[in-house]
Chains A and B, each alone.
Chain A
């Protein structure tokens, strides 16, 4: 098991190298730093001095891969590639194009993101699985049929409408909660309820239907027939046997997103004015702050790879037959 995890970690590092090269190519080859500077400074009316100044302030003035002016190790380290790409591996995100420290921003902004995402994730999972089990329990009846119809209807609505609608109903129509904003400590709850609720509701359609398919696949298997033949009640069959055996497909989809909860919910956060990583990313995109976008791409890949490894480990926890060598 340990050897397996170490191998997976090495593979993960290799994938990160790939991500790094890919983002570097995307950000520095498609357009040279000069092009980016010109676009940021305002098209054609820009002087070469202004471009040079812009690049120098943000550290893009160095050569891309090999610095001929330096000697020794400096030939490699005093380059854009080393500064902007290699340093990411030790989570040294550097400064944003606006000059702020990205590492510090991320460490302060991850907490509001987690405060929205973790409750939404936990409550959501419980709600989706309950709904799916109910539909599986009432399978081939009108309850199941209309449940599926409702699911398809709900998954056909854009997430944007859930957010706009929720904000309108709870914030404006019923005046239950402030429309947007955030506060530290327990005051945060009144700002968090609606985003969490919307996060859960917007996912019901797709998720409940997905889990229902998983359960129905299990329900036709022989061990379920055996359990029924033993005289177990349908509820017991569903919750003890089917749910447990459906754990592997459920975990496959669920565990991998747990680390990504850090990244926050892009649109929800910007709509509700929650100062998390999601709204941070959106702001960076709208201000064209490429340093932050690069940092978030790298962070996202790291978290995804952690999620993949956690998924493998979780298999061994729910199913003793799974062994990795």
Chain B
């Protein structure tokens, strides 16, 4: 008997399909030098590599959160029953954060609640006091005297662990480079430190170090304190922020995946066939893009909500409903946003179709389909690649705005948008509850900034115009 059963939500399946696709593409690219060249240029950009280093933990958290399972319940008669609640592997890893619920708001590193409560004193009188938290700092005997020392000690331990780990990684990379280039470790290190290595390891190490300085202490403190406080229902804000990452990543990647076939097929066809086909496709994307984006998305999402409300039998549990809503949102975002890329591709294909190699293909009697597949599509892939990475951060930001407007993800799904939305009301409280907002801000800024920097270096590496003109503008 298995202690758990994997539960494949739709978005999980698509996420892992995407991962498989990316791995396949990487293997395909590896052995083809002309495809590898732009990625090698990305690998030589220090901002791009630093950003990629920061993105890795986000992606890992998102992937762990995309493995869902249902735990087996203890059963008497030998029959296997599984819990109704769907959890992810990330939930399992974050069990100390998820399970430690307080009653309501508490500030970061607090040992007491943020609001006063009436409690019964031992001698029978009642008093209005800030009660102790059930979990945050519960191990302290005298929180007022011990907390500062305890926090500092644990943070230092976490930091020391991070530094050791960092040193191991640095020495490991240097040793590998040394074996690879048959030089001694010391000279390899000197080259890296002076920025003379081919791959900018210095930027990677700096990014790793910065992350270690932040993550190490947080990991050491999180089991014992609410590092980013708790929200209205007492849930740990750090847990929410980590759960939000998956929502953002799914929207950022799956929406572009939905958009891609529309943009690619229609764009290449419009540019290649010209004439009537071109007119029809142009009409289609002018019509779609003439509707203000938010309104079109809002209209589609509202209609989807009505559909879900009228067909409750299709959505047996909250998780499944939220998941379907998330997917539908990706589809809607994709369908409404393919016009920009389609226009770019059409323009590029219009230019390419007049080139000699296409005319030669015509002369040899190659079919339209084959010309589009073999000769045109591979030659516009750099535009597709640039659009893919450039759109990602915009979609993550859009999710927050849409959730605020009320047409984003399901309210039961943790996302940056729902976090901000509920934190907005807390700003008006006296005294103010600021940590939910701060947490969403920090996580979103880090994710979007890293994505933007990475996208920039990808664009610089893939855009042939910039390469011919001698690097970045």
Q: Which residues of A come within 8 Å of B, CB atoms?
A: 14-16, 18-19, 22-23, 26-27, 30-31, 35-36, 38-39, 43, 152-153, 155-161, 164, 168, 213, 216-217, 220, 260, 263, 266-267, 281-282, 285-286, 288, 290, 293-294, 296-297, 300-301, 304-305
A16 to B286, CA, bound (A): 10
CB <8 Å contact, B310 and A35:
yes
Distance in angstroms between the alpha carbons of A39 and B307 in the assembled complex = 9
Cβ of B290 and Cβ of A26 under 8 Å apart?
no
How far does the Cβ of B355 sit from chain A's closest Cβ, in whole Å? 23
Taking a contact as CB atoms under 8 Å apart, the answer to whether A22 and B287 are in contact is yes
* B291 in contact (CB, < 8 A): yes
A285–B441 contact, CB under 8 A? no
- Distance in Å from the Cβ of B166 to the closest Cβ of chain A? 25
Number of residue pairs across A and B with beta carbons under 8 Å? Answer: 129
User: Contact at A31–B292, with CB atoms within 8 Å?
Assistant: no
Give the B interface residue count (CB, 8 A). 47
B220 proximal to A (CB < 8 A): no
- What are 14 A-B contacts defined by CB distance under 8 Å? A30-B303, A30-B307, A36-B306, A39-B310, A157-B441, A157-B444, A158-B400, A158-B401, A266-B294, A285-B302, A288-B306, A293-B299, A293-B302, A301-B290
Selected contact of B283 from candidates A18, A36, A43, A213, CB within 8 Å: A18
Q: Please tell me which one of the listed residues B307, B393, B405, B420 contacts residue A282 in the complex, with CB atoms under 8 A apart.
A: B405
Q: Is the interface of B mostly helix, strand, loop or mixed?
A: helix
Tell whether, in the assembled complex, residue A267 and residue B404 are in contact, meaning their CB atoms are under 8 Å apart.
Answer: yes
Known: A31-B307, A43-B309, A216-B473. A304 touches B290 (CB 8 A): yes
Task: Given the known inter-chain contacts A26-B300, A300-B295, please indicate yes or no for A213 contacting B290, CB distance below 8 A.
Answer: no
Closest CB in chain A relative to B394 CB, distance in Å: 9
Question: In the complex, A52→B317 CA distance in Å?
Answer: 31
How far apart sit A5 and B248, CA to CA, in the bound complex (Å)? 43
A159 touches B306 (CB 8 A): no
Which B residues are CB-close (under 8 A) to A260? 292
Point out the residues of chain A lying under 8 angstroms from B295, CB to CB.
281, 293, 296-297, 300
Interface residue? B456 (CB, 8 A): yes
Residues of B bordering A, CB below 8 Å: 283-284, 286-292, 294-296, 298-300, 302-307, 309-310, 312, 393, 397, 400-401, 404-407, 416, 420, 424, 427, 437, 441, 444-445, 448-449, 452-453, 456, 469, 473
Please give, as numbers and ranges, the residues of chain A lying within 8 Å of B407 by CB-CB distance: 285
**In the complex, A285→B303 CA distance in Å?**
11
Chain A residues near B303: list those with CB within 8 A.
26-27, 30-31
Separation of A85 and B344 alpha carbons in the complex (Å): 32
CA distance A38 to B310 in the complex (A): 8
Chain A residues closer than 8 Å to B296, beta-carbon distance:
297
State in angstroms the CA–CA spacing of A235 and B424 once bound together: 45
How distant is the Cα of A160 from the Cα of B296 in the complex, in angstroms? 20
Chain B residue contacts of A267, Cβ below 8 A: 401, 404-405
> Which of A18, A26, A266 has a CB less than 8 Å from the CB of B287?
A18
B306 touches A153 (CB 8 A): no
> Given contacts A15-B287, A159-B397, A267-B401, is CB(A213)–CB(B473) below 8 Å?
yes
Residue on A nearest B399 in the bound complex, by CB: A158
Q: Which of A16, A266, A290 has the most CB of B within 10 A?
A: A266
Within the assembled complex, what's the spacing in Å between the Cα atoms of A153 and B304?
A: 35
Q: Are A220 and B445 in contact (CB under 8 A)?
A: no
Report which of A18, A164, A282 forms a contact with B437, defined as CB distance below 8 A: A164
Q: How far is the CA of A159 from the CA of B456 in the complex (A)?
A: 21
CA gap between A227 and B163 in the complex, in Å: 56
Q: Contacts A15-B286, A266-B405: A301 and B291 contacting too (C-beta < 8 A)?
A: yes
Q: Which residues of A contact B307 (CB under 8 A)?
A: 30-31, 35
Q: Are A305 and B290 in contact (CB under 8 A)?
A: yes
Contacts A36-B306, A43-B309 hold; do A160 and B401 have CB atoms under 8 A apart? yes
**Given the complex, which residues of B lie within 8 Å of A14, measured CB to CB?**
283
* Assembled-state Cα–Cα distance A250/B284 (Å): 25
B306 — which chain A residues lie within 8 A by C-beta? 30-31, 35-36, 39, 288
Cα A300 to Cα B76 in complex, Å, equals 63
Known A19-B291, A260-B292; judge A160-B427 contact (CB<8 A). no
Selected from B283, B299, B406, B437, the residue in CB contact (under 8 A) with A26 is B299
Compute how far the CA of A293 lies from the CA of B287 in the bound complex, rounded to whole angstroms: 17
Task: Give the nearest-CB partner of A28 in chain B.
Answer: B303
The distance in angstroms between the C-alpha atoms of A254 and B312, with both chains bound, is 45
Q: Which residue of B lies closest to A260 (CB)?
A: B292
Contact of A220 with B298 in the complex, beta carbons under 8 Å: no
Q: Return B206 CB to nearest CB of chain A, in Å.
A: 15
Q: For A152, list chain B residues within 8 Å (CB).
A: 449, 452-453, 456
CA–CA, A75 to B324, complex, Å? 40
